[in-house]
Amino acid sequence: MDNKILHSISAIFNTPDEITHAAKEIVKAGYKKFDIHTPYPVHGMDGAMKLKRSPLGYFAFALGATGAVLALLLMWSTMVVSYPNNIGGKPLFPLPAFVPVTFEVTVLLASVATVTSMIIVFFRFPNNSHPLHDTNYMKKVSSDKYGAIIESDDPNFNFDSVKELFEKLGSKDVEPIYYDEDELSVKHNLFDPKFITGLAIIAVTISGITYFALNKMMFMEPFNWMMKQQKLSAQSPSTFFKDGFSMREVVAGTVAKGKMPYLYPDSIDLADKFMVNPLDVNEQNLSIGKAKYNTYCSPCHDYNGNGNARLNGQFPNPPSLHTDKVRNWKDGHIFHIITMGQNTMPSYAQQINETERWQIITYIRALQRALNAKEEDMK
Amino acid sequence: MSSAEVVLYEKKPLPAKLTLIGLALLAIGGALAGIGFTSDSVRASYNLIIVFMWLFSIGFGSLFLIALEHIVGADWSVPFRRITEILAGVVFIVPIVAIPLFINLDQVFVWINPQVLEADKYIKGKAPYLNQDFFVIRNAVIFGLMILFFILLSVRSFKQDVNKNPKASKTSAKLAAIFLPIFAISISVVAMDWLMSLEPKWFSTIFGVYYFAGSVLSTLSILTIIVILLVENGYLSKYINEDHYYNLGALMFAFTNFWAYIAFSQFLLIWYANIPDETLWYMDRSNGAWMIMSLGIIFVRFGIPYLALVTRPSKSNPFRLKIIATWVFLAHYYDLYWVIMPEYAKRNGVDGPVFGLTELSAPFIVVGAVIVVLALLSKGKNLMPVGDPKFKRSLEFHL
């Protein structure tokens, strides 16, 4: 007994009135480090103990405000900065729509972080023991009695006077409470490797079991009516039509709405005769023409049109665009070749629309002029 | 309080001059409204709707608070229940205010006008519900129900003071259970008839709840003001403590949040769906100066009362609670003005909110009517329900 260290002196009372009276008297006697334990909240106890207002509210407020700011920042950065999409004609930062989310995150962060900080700061996690645990005192006050303790590190603490005070207040059951040896020798550290490893193993196990249970044992498609619907798939035969096609071919001679078919597919002479480049020579047409030329034409014709390009050797070299023959072709002639193809050159009608063809022709003309400049171009 | 000799409550009649004060306020309000009526009778009619809906809030809201206490078996509110029961007497004033409105219904409700009905098939489609005969009948029925439940809930409680019959409280709980569904339907009907049908094209299914939230707030706030003033002047028991006030404040705080929740839900859905039938009501309230009022209501009705009531001392300190309750009470006026007057402005070519002598009459009439009801109905009665079996326990209430 002698080598044990005293934590506090405890006293048991029988009625809520007695304990309220005791709390008032303990305050009056000038003790600061004392506590009251009751099986249920006793009305008026915080007033009797002269407790100050808990600072937890300010914690919660600060954390809640942080949550609100974080939620708004997240929505701002995703909806305004990263993915600025027009949704239903609303502004990019529609505040009313963000109010529910902000509210939820505020409440979530305030509650979770308050409980966490309470556990870590006030309960000194991971310490999980207290001298009052496993005492007769605690057994009584958690069933039907009311208890008070005065801790030994109170500046006014004196074993005999505290005992006398409790007995004067009418307690029949006054007991000293000592520290356990473990509590003094073993010190828990939040960053103890064993503790961290234990936490990691628990996390991995629980998430593994959860993953296995949800995805392997009892996997259910959340909804399958999009995946399992009747539909036509490209590149696969359909049973709907006898010939296995998934859709009917268009009637010969059908013209798509708003599209003008090429008028002279059979005659390059007619193209030569009737087709005129409708575009002006300006910077916009030239730059689009250059981009399209570099994309579709340059692999064979080369960037400057001399025909010695990066596919040299794999295909026959096309003739240079700078010969007199090509230079004297009319624009309609080149248009016909781009549209219908010539020799090994395929048709580019699918890749390049009509305006772009004219823009490419404008650009080819500029290339030709560049290698064969006239006197007046130098001005 | 263990000995039987302790006097919980001593009967003390309210001063006789209270009736005169109430009548004087009523006279001032009536005079202001009369001046307004001679200059612009349409505007005066719209203002009379504000007065009517405000008084209806207090009368019907009081019955709701009484029923709520009976049905949940609350202890803490028993000391104030007599004041609520007397306040419920406002139900006798409500039909009187409604009479001039019934006469001039076509001045404010466009759905009565046959030309409007012919021109607009949407309004015509609502004619089976929105027609003058049915309107008068269903509102008369609701007024009748209000007075019936005033007799059933309040008058029976007045009698309990004398006969001390504990079984009367049990019967009251049963009556409250009958009353609450009737209350829920009636207050929705009244809110739709008198507020929503001012713009007959517009509809919002949550609107009845919106008006209900505001009604309970206005009742709670006027009750809080009256209780605190009576305690300060020694007309109620001295055992009313700060925990009683705390609960009044907490309920006010809860309904402040409830109002914000309902008001925001209504706005969010309409704003998000963006359907012209539904947005027009908010569009009317976002033109020019109305926009300032619309933004203001967030702070007047929610922001300021929320911050004022959020801490514990502000709920348990009677002086602070009195000031906050006054604010909440007047915020109901702001709310009703914001719901009603844009319709007046839209139909009569007025740009933005107007505030003149006519508008000033509403608070005078309402406060005057409440004081007159309080003074007249409290004559010869206890101001606390001394016959209630829970009375002694309720005074010992602690959080």
User: Is some CB atom of chain A closer than 8 A to the CB atom of B274?
Assistant: yes
Q: Which domain holds residue A15?
A: 6-180
Q: Distance between CA B350 and CA B341 in Å, rounded?
A: 10
Question: Cα–Cα distances in Å, from A48 out to A13, A189, B186?
Answer: 16, 36, 48
User: Is some CB atom of chain B closer than 8 A to the CB atom of A41?
Assistant: no
Q: Distance between CA A305 and CA A285 in Å, rounded?
A: 18
AA identity, residue B293: M
- d(CA B265, nearest CA chain A) in Å: 10
Q: Which two tokens stand for residue B187?
A: 């207050």
What residue in B sits closest to A94 (Cα-Cα)?
B272
Q: Which of A43, A53, A97 sits opposite B398 (nearest CB)?
A: A43
Q: What local confidence, expressed as pLDDT, does residue A180 receive? A: 80
More confident residue, A262 or B102: B102
Question: Which residues in chain B have their CB less than 8 angstroms from residue A97's CB?
Answer: 268, 272
Question: Which residues in chain A have their CB less than 8 angstroms from residue B315's CB?
Answer: none
Q: What local confidence, expressed as pLDDT, does residue A377 receive? A: 66
Domain boundary among A136, A159, A180: A180
- ∠ at Cα A342 (A341, A348), nearest 5°? 15
Q: Is A147 found in the same domain as A27?
A: yes
Q: Which of A43, A88, A96 sits opposite B268 (nearest CB)?
A: A96
Q: Is A170 found in the same domain as A292?
A: no
User: Is some CB atom of chain B closer than 8 A to the CB atom of A89?
Assistant: yes
Question: Which residues in chain B have their CB less than 8 angstroms from residue A43's CB?
Answer: 398-399
Question: What proportion of chain A, given as a percentage, has pLDDT over 90?
Answer: 22
Q: What local confidence, expressed as pLDDT, does residue A1 receive? A: 46
By C-alpha distance, which of B140, B151, B174, B18 is closest to B89? B151
Q: Is A280 found in the same domain as A175?
A: no
Q: What local confidence, expressed as pLDDT, does residue B5 receive? A: 58
Q: What local confidence, expressed as pLDDT, does residue B107 receive? A: 86
Q: Is A167 found in the same domain as A46?
A: yes
Is residue A9 a contact partner of residue A132, using CB atoms and an 8 Å limit?
Answer: no
Cβ–Cβ below 8 Å for B271 and A89: no
Question: Which residues in chain B have their CB less than 8 angstroms from residue A96's CB?
Answer: 264, 267-268, 271-272
What residue in B sits closest to A96 (Cα-Cα)?
B268
Cβ–Cβ below 8 Å for A96 and B267: yes
**pLDDT tens-digit readout, B271-307:** 999 998 899 999 999 988 899 999 999 999 999 999 9
Q: Is A175 found in the same domain as A56?
A: yes
Cβ–Cβ below 8 Å for B272 and A43: no
* pLDDT > 50? residue A241: yes
Q: Is A282 found in the same domain as A156?
A: no
Question: Which residues in chain A have their CB less than 8 angstroms from residue B395's CB?
Answer: none
Q: Is A273 found in the same domain as A176?
A: no
Domain boundary among A145, A180, A215: A180
Question: Which residues in chain A have their CB less than 8 angstroms from residue B399's CB?
Answer: 43
Is A261 part of a structural domain of the chain? no
What residue in B sits closest to A45 (Cα-Cα)?
B399
Confidence band, pLDDT 50/70/90 cuts, at residue A191: confident
Query: What is the overall mean pLDDT for chain A?
Result: 85
* Cα of A138 vs its chain's centroid, Å: 47
Q: Which two tokens stand for residue A131?
A: 């001298």
Task: Give the long-range contacts of residues A90-94, CB within 8 A, separation 24 or more.
Answer: A90/B272
Q: Which of B272, B398, B399 sits opposite A97 (nearest CB)?
A: B272
Is A102 part of a structural domain of the chain? yes
Is A38 part of a structural domain of the chain? yes
Which one of B268, B314, B396 would you mutate to disrupt binding with A, by most A Cβ within 10 Å of its Cβ? B268
Give me the helix-helix angle, B318-347 and B242-273, nearest 10°: 30
Q: Distance between CA B360 and CA B333 in Å, rounded?
A: 11
What's the CATH code of the domain at A324? 1.10.760.10
Complex confidence, ipTM:
0.80
What residue in B sits closest to A89 (Cα-Cα)?
B274
Q: What local confidence, expressed as pLDDT, does residue B3 receive? A: 45
What residue in A sits closest to B261 (Cα-Cα)?
A100
Q: Is A169 found in the same domain as A295?
A: no
User: Is some CB atom of chain B closer than 8 A to the CB atom of A100?
Assistant: yes
Q: Is A275 found in the same domain as A155?
A: no
User: Is some CB atom of chain B closer than 8 A to the CB atom of A97?
Assistant: yes
Is residue B297 a contact partner of residue B334, using CB atoms and an 8 Å limit?
Answer: yes
Q: Is A139 found in the same domain as A23?
A: yes
Question: Which residues in chain A have their CB less than 8 angstroms from residue B268's CB?
Answer: 96-97, 99-100
* pLDDT > 80? residue A234: no
Question: Cα–Cα distances in Å, from A127 out to A4, A35, A187?
Answer: 20, 20, 8
Is A248 part of a structural domain of the chain? no
Domain boundary among A149, A180, A211: A180
A173-178, strands of its sheet edge to edge: A34-37, A146-151, A6-13, A173-178
Q: Which two tokens stand for residue A108?
A: 């979530």
**Residues of chain B below pLDDT 70:** 1-5
Is A42 part of a structural domain of the chain? yes
Is A190 part of a structural domain of the chain? no
**pLDDT tens-digit readout, A104-150:** 999 999 999 888 888 887 777 777 778 888 888 999 999 999 999 99
Is the backbone of residue A188 left (phi > 0), alpha (psi -120 to 50) or beta? beta
Find the distance separating the first CA and the last CA of chain B, reported in whole Å: 18
Q: Is A155 found in the same domain as A29?
A: yes
Is A44 part of a structural domain of the chain? yes
**pLDDT tens-digit readout, B87-114:** 999 999 999 999 999 988 888 899 998 8
User: Is some CB atom of chain B closer than 8 A to the CB atom of A95?
Assistant: no
Q: What is the 3-state secondary structure (H, E, C) of chain B?
A: CCCCCCCCCCCCCCCCHHHHHHHHHHHHHHHHHHHHHHHCHHHHHHHHHHHHHHHHHHHHHHHHHHHHHHHHCCCCCHHHHHHHHHHHHHHHHHHHHHHHHHHCHHHHCHHHCHHHHHHCHHHHHCCCCCCHHHHHHHHHHHHHHHHHHHHHHHHHHHHHHHHCCCHHHHHHHHHHHHHHHHHHHHHHHHHHHHCHHHCCCCCCCCHHHHHHHHHHHHHHHHHHHHHHHHHHCCCCCCCCCHHHHHHHHHHHHHHHHHHHHHHHHHHHHHHHHCCHHHHHHHHHCCCCHHHHHHHHHHHHHHHHHHHHHCCHHHHHCHHHHHHHHHHHHHHHHHHHHHHHHHHHHHHCCCCCCCCCHHHHHHHHHHHHHHHHHHHHHCCCCCCCCCCCCCHHHHHCCCC
Q: Is A54 found in the same domain as A176?
A: yes
Is A206 part of a structural domain of the chain? no
Alpha helices in chain A (DSSP H): 16-28, 45-48, 56-76, 95-117, 136-141, 159-168, 181-185, 193-211, 268-274, 283-292, 298-301, 324-328, 331-340, 354-371
The tally of domains found in chain A comes to 2
H or E segment to which residue A146 belongs: strand A146-151
Cβ–Cβ below 8 Å for A96 and B398: no
Question: Which residues in chain B have their CB less than 8 angstroms from residue A99's CB?
Answer: 264, 268
